[in-house]
Chains A and B, each alone.
Chain A
Amino acid sequence: MPNATIIALIPLLPLAGFVLLGLFGRKVFRNSSGILATVLLLASTVLALYTAYEYFFVYGKVDSIYQKFIPLQLTWLEFYKGLSIDMGIYIDPISVMMLVVVTFVSLMVHIYSLGYMKGEERFPVYYSFLGLFTFSMLGLVLASNIFQIYIFWELVGVSSFLLIGYYYDKPSAVAACKKAFIVTRFADLGFLIGILILSFCSGTLDFQTLIQRLTVPGSSEFNTAVSYSFMGVSAITWGAALVFVGGAGKSAMFPLHIWLPDAMEGPTPVSALIHAATMVVAGVFLVTRLFPVFAITTPNTLVIVGWVGAVSAIFAAIIACTQTDIKRVLAYSTMSQIGYMMFALGVSKYGGEAGLGFTASLFHLFTHAMFKALLFLAAGAVIHYVHSNEMKDMGGLRKQLPITHITFLIACLAIAGVPPFAGFFSKEEILLAAYQNNIAIYYIALITSGLTAFYMFRLYFNIFWSKPYESHGESHHGEGGFVMMLPLVLLAIGAAAAGFIPFGEYVSSDGTPLKSNFHLQFSIAPVVLGLTGIFTAMWLYRSQNDRPAKIAASLNGFYKAAYHKFYIDEVYVFITKKILFNLIGKPAAWFDRNVVDGAVNLTGATTQAISVGIKKIQSGKVQQYAIYFLAGVIVLAALFIYVWK
């Protein structure tokens, strides 16, 4: 059985780091904060690896099926008997896998940051935020309760906000963190309502119970969920779809992706951790958590998931080909890869062989975490060296940054799907799953795969080849020392070798191990496409020439549109500025000041006006007073003699 204390410690150690550094970072741990946080996280990572080992190889498998365990569950808030938010630990292959990924990448980032962030004024704050994030992310993956996920979901959102806004005096960073938070918040609204719907239908917030109740056709809860409908769509579908909206927001799926490129304003290690490896895949994780429910919905929500993923994948890939900020390229590539994961889920089914897409998706999540984190960290090293994010300031860096160069190349090969690197295997499975279930998505994926190879190598050649590097101002400090290179190397090993893990053995939609069968003839197409992409990039960017410009010119309109990210940002600006602010906010404020408040003031003013208007009654003429007197008597007499008799 899983050991609750050990597992609980995994998220709690980073939390301890957050609290300690948050409260005393300034004074007590001024210089040792990084070390402290890293040590705590190292402990966490070890525990996570231990847990994973124990789960996968010791107690997890019963009757050759990986079991689900809830070793710990505390009532956090009880709404009424039976419906409560619990804080629990949910152990199944997915969460254990995620534990490893999160702690490992986070550890890498912690180590890397020791070098990268050295000398920063708010160094302790940085590490405390990292601690907060790691805690929240771990809490998220361990959640046993749908509301618990929501809670940690928000917390990762806020840690992301804090870390993007780490350079708070930079207006662009401030804008970016705001945007990230608000866009994901908007998506979370969907998530929240989805939770409300699902919990109302099932009468529980607990994952296991919820899935149990909602996936047994014929159970009373299932009947409720199907019978209630709104706009012709059943409650359960609404629920699942809205939950997916939340996931899509966090995972930067089209059209809620706009925050992700801007989020690159944060420190690069943060981008590696949050906006590449862990938080952004939370959407995928969320869908896998509720996968049985998604799978049973009619009309099938998974179709939406699939298409959103596919569109995002190709959409982001196209944009990535045109960007010049290296981190933005990576950001769009992240979006594209998550799109892969999403549509892999979308084309999957629940259980058995049909669940291939499910396994593939998580496999890709796993490998992507390695190589994308690596890409970001390597890019970080480059940026650290060049002090710029722009491609035009780079070129020919392979001499100056040899380790970075090699590791970056490995990562590029991995993401491009060149065998035998990690990405090849996971992509392979995804494409296979897509091919089996939805041929349209398959072709999109194929094209995307080629584009991916192209833009990654465009990046690679632009940074490390292209033109000889001319340094500006000689203040260079080499590649960043051991602490920065160690994570690169470790992650490179991961990126190179992770593909050989028989992932399907461990993680599948229903816990039964899935044999990964390899189809050599099937992999020809993607590999060829990938290589084509690579060579095209090489042809265009290996040394400086005017070919890219010519091609850009020939594609004029389309290129421009892609360069401007298809103007999605402008649409959003229009919606917020013009509609939200000018059409709703302003009138509301005006209405309040003038109509509602005006009514109150008008009451006062009217009273005053009447008061002035009737002052003539008190004319100062004693005879008039007598007339009023007499009139009063007569009116009263008449009233009571004739009217009210």
Chain B
Amino acid sequence: MNLLLLLIVPLLTALAVLLSANGRQVKWLSFIGSLAQLALAFILLYTFEEERATGNTAQMLFEQRYPLFQSLNISLHFGVDGISVVMILLTAFVSIAGVLVSWNIEKMTKEFYFLLLLLGLGAYGFFISLDLFILFFFLEISVIPKYLLIGIWGTGRKEYSANKLALMLMGGSALILVGILGLYFVAGHSFDLTEIAKTTIPGNIQMIVFPLLFVGFGVFTALFPLHTWVPDGHSSAPTAGSMFLAGISMKLGGYGCLRVATYLLPEGAKEYANIIIALSAIAILYGAFATMMQKDLKYINAYSSVSHVGFSLLGIGMLTQTAITGALIQMVSHGLMTALFFAVIGMIYDRTHTRMVAEMGGLMKVMPFIATIFFIVGLCSLGLPGLSGFVAEMTVLVGSWQNNDVFHRVATIAAAMSIVVTAVYILRAIARTAMGPIKNAAFLQLKDAAWNEKLAAIILVAGILSIGIAPNWLNELLRPAAEIIMNRIAGK
């Protein structure tokens, strides 16, 4: 498959949206565009599997290279491995759901959808790029749309949150930039990921560059203690904004931590692994405990994201193939789950005009569909088997357990403990919103989900279930890629 299609389709959709006449057109165009993206993602998955089935074991498939800034040896170098394919699928899923739940946006519809599509574009570009410069370009491209989405269409302290998000993410990318430049010169003036992977980078450089890259990408994926943009950003963002933010953007960081930092700088990864593990174990538990005290549904999900994303980072830090696979599964799972979670919160908010847990109750009665979805996503969050969260967490834990020493064990157990705390806060949230008596008589008039919301929810639930019930297809996609990464780390 020609990977450029993944860029061209969203780009054309975005341009078409800009040129369209009214809000109705904008919505349908975006919907059709994101449907096309979804189709492309599936085609990509299919062709990828086909290609692998023919015995093509190259690390990257469908490679394409167009020179760009030749004098600096930059080129548009695209290619995908299992990880990218999965991430692209995730992006497509979240994109279409995001488009659907925003159906009722009245204010500046055109701009809203344009920015959403731009965010999607950035993510696709990021996941297929094999040139660090281009990768960085796509990473950065998504920062400003996020800022605008939160600042313009957000709620609450939106300007503050938008600013914090943009600045922290920019801070992260500043570090990434320095790291990338470091790699560029060490690797003999090349930004090419596959080229750099072939060179042996001196240990002392790795010790400098690895933390830069890891922390930089870590900011994007809410590495403790650089996660504080997450609660504010998510809670202020409009529904689709939160979905994209948590569902896709945070995954950019995780992907970068793995694909760029860990993969390219194995010595650095080994050196700093313990710090990463400690930080992410703290994040997992601490995020979970902080979540317990939240009263706003969006804050609950935002903090729980910190906790869940901790699993991804923990998996990466553990440096075993299973743990890394688990980290990747967790990224996908969390992407879908949290997008769905935000979608549900958005739906509830649209109706009740509150996100405060204490003000709700008994929503099951008035909006059974939404409440059911809320149940499903909550159960996914607390790692119920049959839903994606379980698969991811278990894979990480099993992978982590392979490190046979007290430090790793303690970290693993700490991470495992979060499943209890998660249960506590998720059930509290569910019990107080969906269950119990109805506290506000006005709620009795509320309607259940509309078609677009149902469709969005069903798409995401389908994703969650497909991973939760039959996880091996995902596992088989990710494992070989993780193995290549592990081989480099192990020095093979």
Contacts and interface: CB of A to CB of B under 8 A. Distances in A.
Do A and B come into direct contact in the complex, CB within 8 Å? Answer: yes
Interface of A: 26, 75-80, 83, 85, 147, 150-152, 154-155, 158, 161, 165, 168-169, 171, 174-175, 177-178, 181-182, 185-186, 188-189, 192-193, 196-197, 199-200, 228, 230, 576, 580-581, 584-586, 588-589, 591-592, 596-597, 599-600, 604
Decide if the interface of chain B is mainly helix, strand, loop or mixed. Answer: helix
A276 B448 CA distance: 37
Interface in B381-436: 382-386, 390-391, 394-395, 397-399, 401-402, 404, 406, 412-413, 416-417, 419-420, 423-424, 427-428, 431, 434-436
Given A169-B436, A588-B286, A592-B286, A80 B431 contact: no
Contacts of A150: 385
Contacts of B424: 182, 576, 580
B321 A165 contact: no
Decide if the interface of chain A is mainly helix, strand, loop or mixed. Answer: helix
Given A585-B290, A589-B294, A592-B290, A168 B384 contact: no
B286 A155 contact: no
Nearest to B422: A185
Contacts of B227: 596
A77 B468 CA distance: 10
Contacts of B417: 189
B436 A585 contact: no
Interface residues of B, number: 62
B398 A581 contact: no
A596 B225 contact: yes
B328 to A, nearest CB: 13
A589 B404 CA distance: 33
In this complex, the member of B167, B228, B294, B406 whose beta carbon has the largest number of chain A beta carbons within 10 angstroms is B228
A193 B409 CA distance: 10
Contacts of A77: 391, 394-395, 471-472, 475
A230 B427 CA distance: 34
Contact of A182 (B385, B390, B412, B423): B423
A168 B434 contact: yes
B292 interface: yes
Given A76-B472, A78-B475, A169-B365, A189 B420 contact: yes
A33 to B, nearest CB: 15
Contacts of B242: none
Contact of A154 (B325, B390, B395): B390
Contacts of A147: 394
B336 interface: no
B79 interface: no
Given A168-B434, A174-B436, A196-B397, A182 B427 contact: yes
Contacts of B470: 76
Contacts of A80: 321-322, 479
A85 B423 CA distance: 23
B292 A597 contact: no
Contact of B292 (A154, A158, A161, A581): A581
B364 A196 contact: no
Contact of A186 (B168, B406, B420, B428): B420
B402 A75 contact: no
A188 B290 CA distance: 22
B137 interface: no
Nearest to A179: B427
9 contacts: A77-B394, A83-B398, A151-B386, A174-B431, A174-B436, A178-B431, A192-B419, A199-B398, A585-B290
A141 B199 CA distance: 53
A154 B384 contact: yes
A505 to B, nearest CB: 36
Given A185-B420, A589-B294, A592-B228, A155 B384 contact: yes
Interface in B440-492: 470-472, 475-476, 479
A589 B289 contact: yes
A588 B364 CA distance: 31
Contacts of A175: 431
Nearest to A83: B398
Contacts of B327: none
Given A169-B365, A585-B293, A596-B225, 12 more contacts: A79-B322, A80-B321, A168-B364, A171-B436, A178-B431, A182-B423, A189-B417, A193-B416, A200-B404, A580-B289, A580-B424, A596-B227
A188 B322 CA distance: 22
Contacts of B390: 151, 154
Contacts of B364: 168-169
A189 B285 CA distance: 14
A596 B229 CA distance: 10
A581 B292 CA distance: 7
B180 interface: no
Nearest to A184: B423
Contacts of B231: 592
B293 A588 contact: yes
B472 A589 contact: no
Contacts of B476: 78
Nearest to A121: B365
Contacts of A177: 431
A631 to B, nearest CB: 31
B445 to A, nearest CB: 17
Interface in B344-371: 362, 364-365, 368
B203 interface: no
Contacts of A174: 431, 435-436
Interface string B141-160: 00000000000000000000
A584 B402 contact: no
Given A77-B391, A169-B435, A181 B385 contact: no
A155 B383 CA distance: 11
A79 B399 contact: yes
Interface string B84-102: 0000000000000000000
Contacts of B243: none
B379 interface: yes
A289 B483 CA distance: 34
B164 interface: yes
Contacts of A171: 436-437
Contacts of A600: 164, 168, 228-229
B397 A192 contact: yes
Nearest to A588: B289
A185 B423 contact: yes
B298 to A, nearest CB: 15
Contacts of B419: 185, 188-189, 192
Contacts of B406: 230
A534 to B, nearest CB: 42
B385 A75 contact: no
Contacts of B303: 592
Contacts of B412: 196
Nearest to B164: A600
A344 B35 CA distance: 60
Nearest to B323: A79
Contact of A178 (B286, B379, B420, B427): B427
A167 to B, nearest CB: 9
Contacts of B404: 200, 228
B471 A76 contact: yes
Nearest to A189: B420
A589 B168 CA distance: 20
A151 B386 CA distance: 8
In this complex, the member of B231, B292, B398, B471 whose beta carbon has the largest number of chain A beta carbons within 10 angstroms is B398
A140 to B, nearest CB: 11
B399 A155 contact: no
A152 B419 CA distance: 16
Contacts of B438: 169
A73 B122 CA distance: 43
A255 B397 CA distance: 27
